[in-house]
Amino acid sequence: MTTRLDPLSFLDADLDALRQQGLYRHLRVLEGEQKPSSTFDQRQVVNLSSNNYLGLTTHPKLREAALDATRRLGVGSGSVRTIAGTMEIHMELERRLAAFKKVEAVVVFQSGFTANAGTVSAVLTKDDVVVSDELNHASIIDGSRLSRATIKVFPHKDAAAARKVLESLPASQRKLLITDGVFSMDGDLGALPELCALAEEFGCIMMVDDAHASGVFGKNGRGTIDHFGMHGRVDIQVGTLSKAIGALGGYVAGSKMLIEYLYHRARPFLFSTSHPPATAAACIAAIDVLEQEPQIIDRLWENTRFFKAGLQSLGLNTGLSESPITPVIVGDGALAMKLSDRLFEEGVFAQGIAFPTVARDKARVRTIVTATHTRDQLQFALAAFGRVGRELGILKH
């Protein structure tokens, strides 16, 4: 045996660079359930890092629905949707989502990521143009790249800049105008009314990724299209079943024609196995909860207002957030990671986020409250932010 040099050893240089910059992260491991107070890495912490906005990951109705579906239908679908893996429960979920979102049809994907990437890459070709907010989600960027369309990025929420881009393009060229409904790092809302008007004026396909808005914004959690009164003006809506809905998956909502097209052309739909029955059943139960218990969404917003006001009165920079996602922006990447680490030692889990996920000078700790946090838990977290913020010189007094 000759010793062989690891052909992947060059990756270590990259990891070393991350270590040097204080940006190296290990995976925190959750023991037990995803809850507002959870045990990560053997430490009990107030959990401000999940996307479990409504606490549905552990809701009894979802849990029972998943268990029941597993007993009746087994643990897997056994195939991709287009061969033998379309179960009645998948169709039921899609019918329920379509009615909920007030659209003709819905197709469910394995995740929000594959919904975006699969849809953008299916709808566009290399002759087309994507006009995209600079802070749109990675899955939109990847879908755009896969489509080989020309990608034109406009500054965050800047509809005037988007207009300039559209004016520069030939009228005959096919264009997709695309924005997140809620931006995942800043918690602000996409410029939907302005962008929908532009899409109509310039004949663009209008697409909104409502991953962080599903279950959070609009009546019963119908999303930002409902929040802004844009029904009928967005051609392609993407939602996720992985965040507020508490399970896993993504979906595209739109016309029957769009959905039938995606059945034939969206590669994650065609080439990757469909959800286990338990996941589909849990998602159907989640829609029941949104329709029957909208007060949990009210609780989410009460907690959001309370916590955001608390951070601001400490003197922390919460940016432009309009949602339960509230960043605490500190600037330097290493400082953000230090703040996150110290908070964790003090019993608060809020993820540090730095370049390349956010701009180099906009590093932050991101907080997400849920409907199920108690006031005591939120007070405890605010006190820790105050203490650690002063210790690290982020707060002056």
Ligand X SMILES: *Cc1c(COP(=O)(O)O)cnc(C)c1O
Catalog residues that contact ligand X under the rule CB under 6 A.
111-113, 116, 137, 139, 180, 184, 209, 211-212, 240, 242, 250
- How long is the chain? 397
Residue 183 Cβ, how far from ligand X at the closest point, in Å? 7
Nearer to ligand X, 106 or 388 (CB): 106
223 vs 352, which CB is nearer to ligand X? 223
| d(C-alpha 131, C-alpha 141), whole Å | 11
Query: Least distance from C-beta 231 to ligand X, angstroms?
Result: 20
Cβ atoms 163, 152 nearer than 8 A = no
Nearest-approach distance from CB 110 to ligand X, in angstroms: 8
The one catalytic residue in 50, 121, 184, 242 is: 184
Q: What are phi and psi of 153, to 5 degrees?
A: -100, 135
**What is the phi/psi pair of residue 198, to 5°?**
-65, -45
Q: How far is the CB of 99 from ligand X (least distance, A)?
A: 21
Nearer to ligand X, 248 or 382 (CB): 248
**Which member of 59, 90, 157, 212 is catalytic?**
212
| Residue 243 is a catalytic residue | yes
The CA–CA distances, whole Å, from 27 to 24, 41, 312 equal 10, 9, 29
- Residue 85 CA: distances (Å) to CA of 77, 117, 238: 5, 21, 22
212 part of the active site: yes
Position 31, amino acid:
E
Structure tokens at 232: 């009928």
Nearer to ligand X, 180 or 186 (CB): 180
**Sequence letter at residue 348:** V
Work out the number of other CB atoms within 10 angstroms of the CB of residue 391. Answer: 13
Measured in degrees and rounded to the nearest 5, phi and psi for residue 93 equal -60, -45
User: Is residue 130 within 8 Å of residue 150, measured between CB atoms?
Assistant: yes
Active site residue 184: yes
- Any idea of the CA torsion for 315, 318, 322, 326, to the nearest 10 degrees? -110
Q: Which is nearer to ligand X, 184 or 237 (CB)?
A: 184
**Shortest spacing between CB 275 and ligand X, in angstroms:** 12
CB of 241 to ligand X, least distance (A): 7
Query: Virtual CA dihedral for 234, 235, 241, 242, nearest 10 degrees?
Result: -80
* Measured distance between the N- and C-terminal CA atoms of the chain, rounded to whole angstroms: 64
Q: Which residues are catalytic?
A: 184, 212, 243
